[in-house]
Structure 1
Amino acid sequence: MSGQPVVKSAAAQLGICGKVVSQGDFLAQGLDVAFVDSWNEWLQAVLAVSREQLGGKWLDTYLTSPIWHFALSPGVCSDNAMAGTLMPSVDQVGRHYPFTLAAELNVTPVQAWQDSDWTDITEQQVLATLDEGFNLQTWLAQLNRSELNWPQAKRFSVSQSNNEAIRQAWIISANQPLDSLALLHQSYLQQFSRYCLWWTAGSEQVAPCLLVTSGLPQVSQYAAMLDGDWSRWNWQQKQIHY
C-alpha cells in the first residue's frame, strides 16, 4: 500500500449548512451534496439520541456545549477530505440544530489540526451569526470573498506488503525527510481506514481536548461532546506520556 498526501497549497472556498437564529429555513450553500447529505444524516441521528440520553438536561447542555473544529479524511462523508467548524445553533422559530462552516481539505487531517490558524476565521464567522442585527445576505457576500489557505502539503510515501500476516511492517524511503505528522496520518489510516479529528477550546462542562474517531463519532457517544462526561458515554481515554 502506498499513502501520499496531495502536494499542493490551495485556497478553499467556504460553504455552509445548518440553522441560524435569523432564518427559519435550513441553509446549505457551497458544499458538495454528498457531504451535506451524509453530515446532516449523522447530525439528525446524534441530536435525536442525545435528547433521549440527556432528557430534561438536553436543551441547556446543547446550548452551552462548545464549538468543535473537525478534519475528516476522504471517505468519511464524501470522496473529499473536509475540515470546518460546528456550532450549536437554533433557527428563527426555536428549532435547535447546529450550524456548520466547512471547506474541502487539501492536506491531511492531522496537518489541518496542527496548523489550525484557519479555525480563527471559521470560529469568528460562525459566531457572527449570533450577533444582534445579523444580516444573512451581507454575511454570505463576505463569506463568498473568504477563503481558507491550507499549508503546503508534504510528500510522504509508505510501502507495505500485500501479505496480511506481515502488513504491520512499513518501508519508508531514506531519501525523504521523516515527518511526524505524515507518519501519524499513515498510522490512523492503517488503524481506522478513514478517520476524523475533532478539537475544541472547551466550555463550562467540556475540557479542551482532541478526539480521534474511526469515521464520524458513534451516535450513542455524541452526548459526551455536549456534556464532557466521556466515561458515561463509553469513550476510551488514554494518557499519553512523552
Structure 2
Amino acid sequence: MIGWFGKIPAAPDFIVRHLDEALAQRLADWLESSVASYRQTAGADWQSLFLQAPQWRFLLAPGVISPQAMIGVITPSIDAVGRCYPCVFGKLLAEHWAQQLVLADVTAWFAQLESIALQAVGQRWDSQQIDGELERLKILGLDELNMPFDAQARRLATEWHQHRPMGAPLGLPAELPLNTLAQQLGSLAFERLFAGQSVWWERGQGHEQYQMRRFQGLPNFYEFSLLMSPRASATAPV
C-alpha cells in the first residue's frame, strides 16, 4: 500500500495515511524545519513561489529515513485554511530494492502517482478518494508476492563483485542465463552508488528530459530550497 501524509486542500489538518507512525514523524520533522527555513529564505512571496514548485519523484536509499528503501512523489500543496505544506506519497520497498527497481515497471507507476497527486490538490480530493485511487495503483513486478528473484545469481554476482580478483575464474551454472547475472551485477552497482543517499528527479518544463539531483541523506535546508522553488530557479548549479 502507498502511504501519504501532509496537507491537502480538502482538509484543514495535517493528515497521515498508511504510514508507520515513527516513519511519518521523521519525515514530518524534516519537512517542518525545511519549510520553515524556506519561508524565511524566500521572503514575503514564499507561498506563491512554493506553489509553483515542480513535483519531484524520489528514491530514499535504506538508512536515509527507514531501514527500507522508499520511492514516491512530493508535491507542493495547501490546506483548507490556506497554509502551504508539501504532500508526500511513498512506498517502502523490500530487502532487494535495487533488483526490484531494475525489473519493475516504475516509469508508468511514477507517472500515475504524479497524476493522482496533482488531482488530489487541484480537484480537492478528500482522503478517502485519494486512498481509493492509490489502492488501484500497482507496480508491475513490485506488488507480486512471488516476484522472480534468482538467489543463485545474486550470490554469484556478490561473490564476483566483492571477492574475485581480475582474471580469477567464476563457475557459472549452464542453466543460469548471462543476462540474469548481469541484472544482479547492475543491481549491486546501483545499491552501492546510491548508498545512504536520496535521489530526486522531475520532468522539467518542456518534458524533454528529467532534471535529477542526489544528496547525502535527506536534503538540507539549502538543498530543499532548490527542490521547492519554481523551475526557473531550480536549475541553479550545485
TM-score range, shorter chain: 0.7 to 0.9
The amino acid that maps onto 2:92 is E
Normalization by structure 2: what TM-score? 0.74
**Would the alpha carbon gap of residues 188 and 20 (structure 1) be closer, same or farther in structure 2, given more than 3 Å must change?**
same
The amino acid that maps onto 2:30 is W
Aligned length, in residue pairs: 208
| 2:108 alignment partner, one of 107, 117, 140 | 117
Unaligned runs of at least 5 residues, structure 2: 173-177
Give 1:128's aligned residue. Answer: 119
Q: Which has the higher helix share?
A: 2
Normalization by structure 1: what TM-score? 0.72
| 1:138 alignment partner, one of 129, 133, 154 | 129
**Would the alpha carbon gap of residues 111 and 196 (structure 1) be closer, same or farther in structure 2, given more than 3 Å must change?**
farther
Which deviates further from its counterpart, 73-82 or 175-184?
175-184
- Compute the displacement of 1:188 (Å): 1.7
Provide the alpha-carbon RMSD of the alignment.
3.1
Q: Deviations over 1:5-37 (max 9, x none)?
A: xxxxxxxx1111010001001110111223211
> Would you say the 8 A contact 2:104–2:139 is kept in 1?
no
> Would you say the 8 A contact 2:104–2:140 is kept in 1?
no
> Would you say the 8 A contact 2:104–2:141 is kept in 1?
no
Give 2:187's aligned residue. Answer: 182
| 2:200 alignment partner, one of 195, 198, 201 | 198
Give 1 or 2 for the bigger CA radius of gyration: 2
Give 1:230's aligned residue. Answer: 236
Report whether the alignment pairs 1:71 with 2:59: yes
**Would the alpha carbon gap of residues 224 and 139 (structure 1) be closer, same or farther in structure 2, given more than 3 Å must change?**
closer
The amino acid that maps onto 2:108 is D
Unaligned runs of at least 5 residues, structure 1: 1-12, 162-168, 236-242
**Would the alpha carbon gap of residues 69 and 24 (structure 1) be closer, same or farther in structure 2, given more than 3 Å must change?**
same
Percent of aligned pairs sharing the same letter: 24
Residues in 2 aligned to 1:34 and 1:70: alpha-carbon distance in whole angstroms: 20
